[in-house]
Each structure stands twice: as C-alpha cells, then as structure tokens.
Chains A and B, each alone.
Chain A
Amino acid sequence: MTDTSTVLPALRVDGLAKRFTLHHQGGVELPVLEGVSLEAFRGECVALDGPSGAGKSTLLKLIYANYRATAGSIRVRRESASAEVEVTRADARTLLALRRDTIGYVSQFLRTVPRVGALDVVAEPLLVGGEADTSALREAHRKAQELLLRLRIPQRLWHVPPATFSGGEQQRINIARSFIRSWPILLLDEPTASLDADNCSTVASLIDEARARGAAVIGIFHDARVRERVATKVIDMERFQPRPGSR
C-alpha cells in the first residue's frame, strides 16, 4: 500500500515574506519576515525558535491567513480535497473551509464571548455548521468535560463564562478548545506560557497524542524544556530576518 499522505508534507511554506506598511506613519514599511521556507509532515512537531520579535507569531498568523503575505506561498493539504490549497491566494470561502476542517490555531489569548460558559466555549469547534442534534451536543460536551478534567479546570467553573478566569485558566480553556477537534494541522502560539508544571506536561501529552494520530504540529514554545520534550524538529527563525535595507 502506498500512502502518499506520509510522503507529501501537510504544509509547505516557500519564500514567504511579510512586510507591514503603515499608511498613517508616513508610509513606513516594517519588514518582519523574508524568505521563509519550511515543511511540516504528518506526525511532526515543528518548533519555531528565536528571540522575541523574530516573527514566530507572525508566521503562524500567515499560515492561518490571519495576516496576508507580502510574497511567497503557503501550501496546505486539505483533508477533504485532493489538491493543495495555496493559502496566500485562496478566496475567503476556501479559507473559511480550511479553518473549519484542516487548520486549528491556539492563540496566546482567549477571545471570550460574553455569557457563553466554559464548557460551551470548549465544545463549540465540534458544533460549527448547522444545527447540532442532541446526540452530537452530548458527545461534544462529553469530550469537553474530559479535556477540562485533564487540564484541571475545577468543575464549579464549567458553566461560568471564562471572561472572569485567571490568565492560566483562560489559556487552558483555549487549549481545550483547540484539542477537542482532530485537526490535521495544528498551530500553537505559546500554549504553555502561563501554565504550571503539571499542566505543561498535560499539554505536552496532548501534543504527542495529536502527532500520534497524524497531525502536523507547528508551535512556539518559550520554555526550553517543553520545547525539547515535544519538538521533533526545531527551526531557527533568525535565518528569516530581513536584512537591513533589503526589500
């Protein structure tokens, strides 16, 4: 049996550049990244390494199409389609579909919705697209509870909107929300930044489990021990710094 999915990368970035143009600061240009090329295969955890300001978060945002690339390409293999999607050229509808079925993203901060309780916030990614029947809802809640337990969120908080939670609790809600789906590609921006040792180790296990079922994980891990524990490949982002005066 030839399974091409193990041969072709889940994600290919080629010659990617990002430059911000600030029209109201005299049109000043801020080059952040240049010539980024990397690949991520299924089952890999690629750690982006480099000092603050090296463009690590910017790269994740470009892959998620939150930022728009200045040059280069990002090719993603979509589960439900045979062809690759070129993220920098895809239309809005394709990008929305990609976010629905292929790419998951854990940002550093949880954007809370007023009045929605933690359990529902975590379960939501399983329920997008159409009215959920009661069995789908029950299953989503069961999975959400399992993750909240593993991430040590006290049960009394499950029905409380996370807006009032501590930074670390919000971050764990964010993580639970992102690991509830089996994303083929998972982008993690400092998932362990405000967590204690026990929760860091839970997140590391969640990453291992995601890899084991074939996810390609690309992440930023400020904590060197966490990075060593989870990464299968480390990319030095300083290679992609724009040189002064270059365009």
Chain B
Amino acid sequence: MTEDTSPILRVEGVVKYYGARAAVSGVSFELWPGEVLAVVGESGSGKSTLLNSVAARVRPDAGRVSFLTRHEGMVDVHAMSEAQRRLLARTDWGYVHQDAVQGLRMNVSAGANVGERLMALGERHYGRIRSEAASWLERVEMDVARIDDTPATFSGGMRQRLQIARNLVTRPRLVFMDEPTSGLDVSVQAKLLDLLRSLTRGLSLAAIVVTHDLAVARLLAHRMIVMKEGRMVETGLTDQVLDDPQHPYTQLLVSSVLQP
C-alpha cells in the first residue's frame, strides 16, 4: 500500500458558539485517506456541531477546515463559493443523517434517489443511471425489485441503506455520518454496521462517524476522538482509547457500558 503524503482533511482550532456558550472550542485533527474516525461523547458534548462545522453545514466562529480537492490541493471549505461547496457536497463528500428522512427525497423513487447525485455530475443517460442505481441497491443489500417504490414505503433500516447508496454512488472520498445506526432496532443495527464496515474498508473511504455508542466506534473506526463540553479530551487509536483510557471522562464512559 502506498503511503499518502497529505491528509485528506485538516481541521484547525475550530470554535463554534451558540449564544454565549461554546458548543465546540478549539478542536484540531487530521484525517488521512481511508481512515475512519469516530467522534464520541454524550449528547451536548458538541460532537454533532463539530461534524456540521467540518462538513461546512454550519460556519464556525473561528478556525479552519481544509479539504484535499482532486485538482486544487488543500482548499479552505468555508472560503469556497456556495456553488463550489454544493458541488463538493454532492460529489466528493457524502453525508449520512441519523434520520434518513433528512437525507432522502421521500416522494421520488428509490432509483431516482440514488440517481440524483449522478445527474448532478452531468450524467443524463437514463439507462446508465438506472443500472448504476440498481447495482448500488444491490451493494447495500436492498431488493432491486423495490427500485420504483418511494422511501415512504420503506422500513427504517431500508431507508438508511438507501441513504447510504445515494451517498456512495458518486464514489465520494469523504463521508460524514451522524449517528448512522442509532434510530434502528438492534438486529437491524448490527446488519447495517456490518455493511458500513465492509463498504468503508472495501472502498478505502475516509469517514467521520459521530456516535454515542462505543461499540459502533469499535467496529467501524481506526481512530477515535472523545468530546466533552465542546473540547477534545482524548484521542488515539480506537482500541487504545477503549482499552486503556487515560482521561477521567473517558474512563467513566468506558466503564459505564457493558463490553464496548
């Protein structure tokens, strides 16, 4: 495996206030191609705000987020034009919402949900779009016969699969995931996690996964960041942080669950 010489994402000193309260205060990290990073912490720890600041969905009050673009090297995502940022979000980035309803168009067919991002890249050939959509439904283990049904008729697990297919069809290099499995039944969760694991490994995807579930982090992530009150209190390899936690807060988190 060749070694990359540059991170795909660099986050430097990101700060985000809501009113007088700092939801994120001074978080920095790098992500390298193919790496999956978990951001864990309890609700209110700032992990979702961090994700949205990095994914350019909210504008941080301070700090910088740079992404390694295909043609122009590292680019400050918050300094891009709105049009550039939208193109990035539809092509090289993916964003998997906790609630699939937010990430899907509920009134168009499953096939069209997957095909939409291809069309954003300029693909106009209906047959190719449909066959690519069908192949992605298969990859996320959905019944291809449901290609013309709308997600409104799908179960929570199927919607989440469809959302993943919709995101991955353009072969993004970086995917953001906000609690991707937490709204689902336990059995459905396990299958989806397994799917996410094989997709991220198989496609060498870089990903940031926000989760409150340490087992999800253990299964999916190479590295981990622990957030508390907007600060990064600990970081390291996932198994290091879970098996030999150093910070009092991480020790509390790890000891509060059954066998993470």
Contact = CB atoms under 8 A, between A and B. Distances in A.
Given A67-B244, A115-B191, 14 more contacts: A22-B251, A23-B247, A61-B244, A65-B240, A66-B244, A92-B223, A92-B235, A92-B237, A93-B35, A101-B1, A113-B194, A131-B202, A131-B203, A131-B204
B68 to A, nearest CB: 15
26 contacts: A23-B247, A23-B251, A23-B252, A24-B248, A24-B251, A61-B243, A66-B237, A66-B239, A66-B240, A67-B240, A67-B243, A68-B236, A93-B32, A93-B35, A96-B222, A96-B237, A97-B3, A113-B194, A114-B190, A115-B190, A115-B191, A115-B194, A116-B194, A129-B34, A130-B204, A131-B204
Interface of B: 1, 3, 32, 34-35, 190-191, 193-194, 197, 201-204, 219, 222-223, 235-237, 239-240, 243-244, 246-248, 251-252, 255
A66 B32 contact: no
Contacts of B193: 114
Nearest 9 interchain pairs by C-beta? A23-B248, A129-B1, A67-B244, A114-B190, A92-B223, A115-B194, A130-B204, A23-B251, A66-B239
Interface in A48-79: 61, 65-68
A128 interface: yes
Contacts of A97: 3
B194 A130 contact: no
B59 to A, nearest CB: 28
Nearest to A68: B244
A92 B236 contact: yes
A99 B203 CA distance: 20
A101 B2 CA distance: 11
A61 B244 CA distance: 10
Contact of B240 (A68, A93, A113): A68
Q: What does DSSP make chain A's interface, helix, strand, loop or mixed?
A: loop
Contacts of A12: none
Nearest to B243: A66
A196 B229 CA distance: 52
Given A23-B251, A66-B243, A130-B204, A95 B237 contact: yes
A100 interface: yes
Contacts of B237: 65-66, 92, 95-96
Contact of B255 (A24, A68, A100): A24
Given A68-B246, A92-B223, A113-B219, A100 B194 contact: no
Nearest to B223: A92
Contacts of A95: 237
A20 B255 CA distance: 14
B240 A114 contact: no
A131 B239 CA distance: 24
Contacts of B239: 66
B139 to A, nearest CB: 12
B37 to A, nearest CB: 9
A226 to B, nearest CB: 27
Contacts of B235: 92
Interface string A175-191: 00000000000000000
Interface in A119-133: 128-131
A67 B236 CA distance: 11
A129 B236 CA distance: 20
Nearest to B249: A23
A20 B245 CA distance: 9
Contacts of B246: 21, 68
Contacts of A96: 35, 222-223, 237
Nearest to A161: B194
Contact of B197 (A22, A24, A113): A113
Nearest to B241: A68
A75 B252 CA distance: 32
Contacts of A100: 1
Among B1, B202, B203, max chain A CB count under 10 A is at B1
A65 B203 CA distance: 26
Contact of A129 (B204, B248, B251, B255): B204
Interface in A125-151: 128-131
Contacts of A113: 194, 197, 219
Contacts of A21: 246
Nearest to A69: B244
Given A24-B252, A114-B194, A115-B191, A130 B1 contact: yes
A6 B91 CA distance: 50
